[in-house]
Amino acid sequence: MSAPADIAHPRGIRSYVLRAGRCTAAQARALAQLGPHFIIPWDEGCADLAATALAAARAAGHECRRVVLEIGFGMGQATAHMAAHMPDTLIIGCEVHPPGVGALLRLIDEGQLGNIRIVQHDAVQVLAHMCAPGTLAGICILFPDPWPKKRHHKRRLIQSAFARLAATRLAPGGWLHCATDWQPYAEHMLEVLSAEPLLANAAGTADGYAPHPAWRPETKFERRGLRLGHGVWDVAFVRRG
């Protein structure tokens, strides 16, 4: 599936940096033993990732009714927490770093979390080429790199082209939830997402920021931010019907 013609997708600019971190022995074992069961290979020809993943989960005995895509799950703690709090929802996590994928696979095994699948690939390409329009119940982006220097702002994930792409992949009423501990990025997120006609702010607050949802745990990035005296901002939007 190709990206819609009106959605820019600059392949040369990434919102992440590929780190050279090595997997631990336990993470490597998890990748080898559990990866074939929970990792969905990148496939530009996949017509509908949500339907494919739901069918695989149901075949494995897990009756999930909807799909939420998490972008950049790090070491997977929030993903596992979300899956435990949403047992009827299939969480598909996108992450490019093998140690993080191995760490989440270990959490899946420890928690017997059958409602998680992983795509080890660039999430923007996954959204553009593997996700059919209107098929996701939610998209979750927790503490993406804020790229604080002005010359790096072009690398920020939340841009107008991404907002349009994400909105088209959400079902009517589907949600997009972001969190950051960097106030200028929070302001940028709010501005960009508010400008997307397909999205409506779901916060119901005067400042436009959402309360911390129960399904989102306090991550290490959040704890670090609070320790440094930063605030934490949640931004929540829904796809208009």
Q: Which residues does the annotation mark as catalytic?
A: 145
Give the other-Cβ count within 10 Å of 95's Cβ: 24
Dihedral of CA 219/38/127/51: which sign? negative
User: Nearest Cα to 132, choosing from 71, 197, 52, 72?
Assistant: 52
Give the DSSP per-residue string, 67-125: EEEEE--TTSHHHHHHHHH-TTEEEEEE---HHHHHHHHHHHHHHT-TTEEEE-S-HHH
State CA 129 to chain mean position distance: 16
Q: Are 50 and 132 in contact (CB under 8 A)?
A: yes
